[in-house]
Structure 1
């Protein structure tokens, strides 16, 4: 009887211990997950296949592929970098294009009032002009850093720093870009430098070399991908940063911004002055393979470190891409002769040249001490001041590529001038769609900036008029793969550009794989770069602070246990101008979130 009682007591005790252990396991918090955001700059979804890009193709097949994805317009790098970083549309971030007007001349941009933002020194100065944070929102990376995550951003200069633009000391967020190891680079921390030495890696980023050479109107551009520089970034990521993050045993957020295929698509020498094959030649193919190799190296390292099962990889592209055309039948600028511009082609700065000629005003170069520009003598400039007095310009034109920004400094008193500019632009065959700042009122032929979420809480000056350029396709059977656009750029016809409202430019690559995302799921709902940060903040259990209200949504349908959602397709049309033109915007909505497909004048924009 005693033996039975003793056995029973032991049994009860054992069951109690088992129950206690089980209860403890139930209340233990789930292991925190990590995130790698891999940005394939300028990668078109139609370029991905199992032969050329097997790694990314596998992610799309085994994870989530977003087949209805979008870049924000204007479809430029720093603009979409601000959206990827914060989850806000451009009306809140104020990063309207790669080149924007700021409040005062920027010393590191040759004292220009319209600096190019893909430069660390420029970003630092512009930050100071606008409350030490020119995008006016806190990024996902900054939020994670403050929550004691390990954080890093690696790759292309400009968009990398924008991921944590207010934090520029090299720690705790680790920054590697083109300028690392130079006076304008973000300094490396004492922790990182010896790790580079141990991994036999230099402390300065290699240059792009031949990949950085665009050629000219008579000399083809590069015939090689950006392999050397990006191999360095991939090695830094896999041999230094990821092992360090694994040793810290903390969750992490890492952004890897691949310059390819963007840089190679811009500079390639496969199609000098010809729109076919354009950006579909062998050099760009090598660039896409370069991207995939970098992604494969990162995925392999995550697996080797035992981080694969806890790490989400979110792949996106800041924008799509098109081949450049420099042809026009209506432009005054193309009738003049310039060095390094084939006869009859549009020169850089053609919008400003045409406007100055029609308005009988002078042209000045803000990037060259406001020097006078005389187009009849073959002179032009990337950006332009149109005025009688350059110190008090009537019009400022920021040349960007597939679209340009026009600023009217005295915007509240310039409704008459805005109408004149619009009427002149409506006569040009290179224009396809105009967006005018709401403060200037309704102008026939145009839509308000607020329609495409360019009106918000931005600290930087709002552009008065956004000029979208004409786009078309070469008839290859897939317009977004063979899109062509008029581009205000120093690059040649046949090279590559983006920035327009063509669906070839708004159609970006988006995919995801990891513990928080569904497997083998095709998301047909509209998505955009503004959705990246909100979705990943949800995954990481972080709360993104917000100044403005122009925000993306959580892609809940793509997350584990998420349900499909409904969307709507809509069209917005402007009043008809005197010459019969009207700006048409095609977009989709999920609840109150807008996704912009394409916009322009009928017959002048791919996808419209």
Structure 2
């Protein structure tokens, strides 16, 4: 947002002078996006006549000596207060306060040498340098002194990262860094496997009872992590979904750019229905950087407002096949990729190498000019390797050690910039992991049983046909026309199978849970969702957690997305100036808790209540929001009797206040 204060006939009586002023002050593009122009009423006609497109924004009229908005404190805090105006005091009262200089202002322009002293004396923070202070005469040395003097009432231009006046700018010195280890199980954190993480944990807080949201999938948990909202309300309910308004023939990958673009088109920009923390930080005039070695990065910062996202970057891996051919990831804005590849070389092909490249992009490129208010580094490991070789394999252990090395590089970069003392670091995983005991070809099984089940519609689907959206450890079933008879028959078939774990349904059905019990109720949700069965036996590497899974991977490989305790429990460690030292938090926590906690340490108020809670018990001098609260844990069950036996499923749920966490769920059919 550009705030332009101008007055006096010297400036506006001559359009040529104003044109030259616009060239001298680096705000013309910003003005075209949005601006608040404060000017005497007599000058408005000149402004509109000279700049019909640039000054198409509302102009605030004032008379010299009257009271206008905003004040210096208003610029810093977002609270608009009346301000007495006079030509003598204009500079002193419109230059932002110390908070504004350090946390909000990106450009301060002052027109004459003698006014720089006023700015420093009245507005600059004690002992701190102004971020940028320009004498307008120095911007264009060839301009005459007479011309510079004629700009005596063009007082202050601020280029802010906001389209309005946010109520809560972030704490000027505080920084937050989130490092995501995709698919990291808590039982693999050790001094031997993860020395950097182990050391960080000893100086911070270990959240020993941390949870993913269900479905325990990357895109679902990535979105929940940055919104603080359950999947059913934020709109991302699975990695793969069937949305006929997006693609009538196939289930779609929710994070791919064509899907996101089409999703925004059909939802009027609400593909993700709530803002992410990156967007909220941007609205509060903070800079953000997302660097993801996986395609989930596109969901972490929607950059829905070009004005607030200025100087903010999102780097993410595109479709694997396209990435392999192009040798580069995708980014917003797109033009940053060439400069990164010029520095780091092309995006490599190996999983570990991709993580290292992405880490260097963050520390060496995006942090070159300082650590922003919010940074997110999403590592693809150990998830990608565990999918190929199962948890506990030598390759998976090597991948975990690689992620630890990347964390060490991030911490070292903070140390080199003398930023550790003002940076809170979160290390979190999106979900846990399991080993596939059996791969289940559901399409074949259902078709053999008389259903019409497909993973692709070649033509217009007929009533009763079923679209399968496989997600590894869970499958979503979409019944064309929501045919009640077919849906009921499908549910009863699954209940009598030897692979179903927990079944959720859109409409109430005996022996099932409602989608809302899993916080995945949504207008675009499936008619039926099934999590596969699991057990706690060990794989060949001695790691517990075996599951049945869909047709996409074979037995012996790894995957997740069931309600197994090994999929639903993941890691969270937080360390930094806002967190207690050397403590263990045994209260239930979850990925939805990160967003409200991060906003709290940054001093930003969320625009709406989040489903997650602030982790007050772990914050230094935090309000005891959980004081006296005891976690409640209960197990719900659903059963259905058949002539051949009984179906029984259960779901264990923990609760702290109004926030719920899914511990585990399973089911079985017991023959008579």
Do the two structures share a fold, i.e. TM-score over 0.5? Answer: yes
Q: 1:595 aligns with which of 656, 661, 664?
A: 661
1:69–1:507 contact (8 Å) kept in structure 2: yes
Greater gyration radius: 2
Q: Which residue of 2 aligns with 1:142?
A: 279
Q: Which residue of 2 aligns with 1:471?
A: 534
Q: Count the aligned residue pairs.
A: 490
Q: Which residue of 1 aligns with 2:359?
A: 234
Quote the Cα distance in structure 2 between the aligned partners of 1:364 and 1:580.
29
1:500 aligns with 2:637: no
The alpha-carbon deviation at position 74 of structure 1 amounts to 0.9
Secondary structure at 1:74's aligned position in 2? coil
Return closer, same or farther for 1:602/1:68 CA change in 2, 3 Å cut-off.
farther
Q: Which residue of 2 aligns with 1:245?
A: 370
The alpha-carbon deviation at position 296 of structure 1 amounts to 0.4
Q: Which residue of 2 aligns with 1:444?
A: 510
Q: Which residue of 2 aligns with 1:336?
A: none
2:434–2:567 contact (8 Å) kept in structure 1: yes
1:402–1:499 contact (8 Å) kept in structure 2: yes
Q: Which residue of 2 aligns with 1:56?
A: 197
1:167–1:173 contact (8 Å) kept in structure 2: no
Q: 1:370 aligns with which of 433, 437, 458?
A: 458
1:444–1:582 contact (8 Å) kept in structure 2: no
Quote the Cα distance in structure 2 between the aligned partners of 1:522 and 1:88.
25
1:206 aligns with 2:348: yes
Instruction: Kindly provide the CA deviation profile for residues 14-36 of structure 1, in whole angstroms up to 9, marking residues without a partner as x.
Output: xxxxxxxxxx99xxx96431111
The alpha-carbon deviation at position 242 of structure 1 amounts to 1.6
Quote the Cα distance in structure 1 between the aligned partners of 2:250 and 2:539.
41
Instruction: Kindly provide the CA deviation profile for residues 564-602 of structure 1, in whole angstroms up to 9, marking residues without a partner as x.
Output: 542111111124443322221111111111111011216
Return closer, same or farther for 1:35/1:183 CA change in 2, 3 Å cut-off.
closer
Q: Greater RCO between the two (CA within 8 Å, min separation 6)?
A: 1
2:446–2:453 contact (8 Å) kept in structure 1: no
1:558 aligns with 2:618: yes
Instruction: Kindly provide the CA deviation profile for residues 413-451 of structure 1, in whole angstroms up to 9, marking residues without a partner as x.
Output: x333322111100111111111111xx12x222111111
Q: Which residue of 1 aligns with 2:330?
A: 185
- The structure whose residues are more often strand, as a share, is 2
1:91–1:550 contact (8 Å) kept in structure 2: no
1:97 aligns with 2:207: no
Quote the Cα distance in structure 1 between the aligned partners of 2:572 and 2:541.
19
The alpha-carbon deviation at position 522 of structure 1 amounts to 0.5
Q: Unaligned stretches of 5+ in structure 1?
A: 1-23, 209-225, 269-277, 327-345, 372-388
Q: Which residue of 1 aligns with 2:520?
A: 454
The alpha-carbon deviation at position 239 of structure 1 amounts to 0.7
1:580 aligns with 2:642: no
Quote the Cα distance in structure 2 between the aligned partners of 1:127 and 1:293.
37
Q: 2:444 aligns with which of 353, 357, 365?
A: 353
Q: Which residue of 2 aligns with 1:15?
A: none
Q: Which residue of 2 aligns with 1:280?
A: 392
Quote the Cα distance in structure 1 between the aligned partners of 2:632 and 2:580.
23
Secondary structure at 1:420's aligned position in 2? helix
1:314 aligns with 2:426: yes
1:522 aligns with 2:584: yes
Secondary structure at 1:580's aligned position in 2? strand
1:405 aligns with 2:476: yes
Return closer, same or farther for 1:321/1:168 CA change in 2, 3 Å cut-off.
farther
Instruction: Kindly provide the CA deviation profile for residues 524-573 of structure 1, in whole angstroms up to 9, marking residues without a partner as x.
Output: 10000011101101111112234xx7711111111002445421111111
Q: Which residue of 1 aligns with 2:415?
A: 303
Which segment is superposed worse, 63-72 or 426-435? 426-435
CA RMSD of aligned residues (A): 2.8
Quote the Cα distance in structure 2 between the aligned partners of 1:98 and 1:430.
21
Quote the Cα distance in structure 1 between the aligned partners of 2:472 and 2:656.
30
TM-score, length basis structure 2: 0.68
Quote the Cα distance in structure 2 between the aligned partners of 1:446 and 1:87.
27
Q: Unaligned stretches of 5+ in structure 2?
A: 1-125, 128-169
TM-score, length basis structure 1: 0.75
Quote the Cα distance in structure 1 between the aligned partners of 2:329 and 2:458.
25
Q: 1:294 aligns with which of 406, 411, 418?
A: 406
1:46 aligns with 2:187: yes
